[in-house]
Every structure is written in C-alpha cells, then in structure tokens.
A and B are shown apart, each in its own frame.
Chain A
Amino acid sequence: MSEEPLLLFPNVHKVMRADRICKARGIATRVIPVPEDISSECGMCLIVEGSNLSSCMEALKEENITFELHKRGKQ
C-alpha cells in the first residue's frame, strides 16, 4: 500500500506558517485534519507530495519550524 507523509506541528499557527513557507517555495500542500489514530485533539496537519518532501522538510528546518513526520495509507 502506498503511503503519504503527514507533517504535524505543535500548534495551528505553525501549520499556517509552514503552509506559507511551502507556498512561497512552490511546494504544494494539502491541509487535512490530524487523523484520529494519531491524536484525538482537533488539529490540522499538512500533506506534502512525496517528491517534494525533502525540500519541504529542509525549508521548515531553515525557518526553525519544528514538526513531526508521520505516514498514513494513501486515501
């Protein structure tokens, strides 16, 4: 089964900032609610297409945005 990477952030402000950083660098993101098997709290996370994942993670590190990388089965 193919998997897609999820990026989780400490709070929604960081989600929005990460999304803006990706957008500025031409990296497409999808916003989805954090899957319930990862957290029961109401939150949003980003999906970045696999081919863009490393450049996205690099960009976030450069901007000092902390995140957790999870994987889920492709829907």
Chain B
Amino acid sequence: MKIIDTKGRLCPEPLIMARNGLREVSEGDKMQVISDNDTSYQNLMSFLEDLGAKPVADKKDGIYTIEVTKPAESQSEAESNPEAYCAVPQPAGGNNDYVVVARSCRMGEGDDDLGSLLIRGYFNALKEMDQLPTHIIMYNGGVKLAVKDTDTAAALAELEDKDVSVLVCGTCVDYFKMKDQIGVGRISNMYQIATTLAETGKVVYL
C-alpha cells in the first residue's frame, strides 16, 4: 500500500503530498497518509473527505494514520485547491492572540553564546508556525535581533510578510547607536509598546 509520510511538514504541504499520492494510485486502491500534527490532521481529514476518499483515521503515540481509498475520477474543487483547507482552528470561546517580547538578544540565562544560538533557533522556528503572534516587540538588547544581514532579521522580515507587526524600541536603538543597522521592523516608542502590551491577552517573554 502506498504510504505518504507528512510528518514534520507544514500546511499546505501535507495536503499537496496526499493529493499527489492519490493521483498515483488506481481507483479503489488504498493509501495511507501519516501525520504528526493535530492541525495538519484536521485539515487532511476535511480535504480527503471532500475529495471523496473516505478517510478513516487512527491515532497511536501522537501519530495519525489516515487510510483512504482512491475515489472514481471526480471534478472535485478540492483537488485543484488544497491550500483552501489550511485553516488554523481557533479554540472554542478563546482568543489565540499573543505577543512575543524579546528583552535581550538571547534566550534565557546561563551562557551568552548558547542564549544567542537559542534565540536564532526560536525565530527561525517561529516563522514556520501555524499560530503566529500578532506582534513581536524588541527592547533593550533585543533590538540587536533586527540588525541587517542576520538570520534573525531575515526571519523577522518573513514574519512581517505574514502580517506580524515587528516593533523595535526607538530609545534602545538610539542608546546602542544602531539606527543605520536596523533592517526590519518599525521603530516604535514606549507608548506604542505599552499600548500593545496592554491590549493583548497573552505576552510571551523570551
């Protein structure tokens, strides 16, 4: 049986992989789609349902195995538009909004080099997440993350492209004399920062 392993892939990739896999099997044949992500699993189930592939799922040790049957050739709209199934679910009655605050150019305390490595890993991972913050605020040494030609600035630019507001503390940029080096984000003042923090339900301090 053909097996499509989508573990570690982010939407819409699992949907496209599943669709392409189905194209390669014969009508009536079974195929398995493997997922390790709740959101991807839900999106895959809706998509495969609409394709008429009769998905049946099983979950074991956090891994979903979805068994599908290749339907008769159909003109389902889902076939041509898997991206439309990339919904990010909102928890019932809840608000997912959150703000990330970088208080320094490192993550945690203990070793500065390790802290620098971790925060670079964090922002490069964050940009691949389904659930993005509404704002990223950088102050004090955190503004150094926005310096041009760094991988953190590149990640922040990608987050901006995904409608995340990146606020860089103007006082801090001035203090470090880094205005010419800032490559991403909006230079912001403490009123904007205070307002953003006051208006959000959840703040994640790095």
Contact = CB atoms under 8 A, between A and B. Distances in A.
B7 interface: yes
17 contacts: A15-B117, A29-B151, A30-B120, A30-B124, A31-B117, A31-B121, A31-B151, A32-B124, A33-B124, A33-B125, A35-B8, A37-B7, A44-B118, A72-B8, A73-B13, A75-B10, A75-B127
Interface in A25-65: 28-33, 35-37, 44, 47
B117 A19 contact: yes
Contacts of B124: 30-33, 47
Q: Which 4 A-B pairs have the closest CB atoms?
A: A37-B8, A31-B120, A30-B151, A32-B124
A73 B113 contact: no
A11 to B, nearest CB: 11
A21 interface: no
Contacts of B8: 35-37, 72
Nearest to A15: B117
Contacts of B7: 36-37
B114 A32 contact: no
A75 B130 CA distance: 12
Contacts of A15: 117
Given A28-B151, A30-B124, A37-B7, A44 B13 contact: no
Nearest to B114: A12
Which of A31, A33, A36, A37 gathers most chain B CB within 10 Å?
A31
Contacts of B125: 32-33
A16 B117 contact: yes
A35 B128 CA distance: 11
Name the interface size band of chain B.
20 to 34
Contacts of B113: 16
Interface of A: 12, 15-16, 19, 28-33, 35-37, 44, 47, 72-73, 75
B121 A44 contact: yes
Nearest to A30: B151
B149 interface: yes
B67 interface: no
B83 interface: no
A61 B124 CA distance: 26
Nearest to A44: B121
B149 A28 contact: yes
Contacts of B54: none
Contacts of A31: 117, 120-121, 124, 151
A49 to B, nearest CB: 11
A12 B7 CA distance: 24
Contacts of B103: none
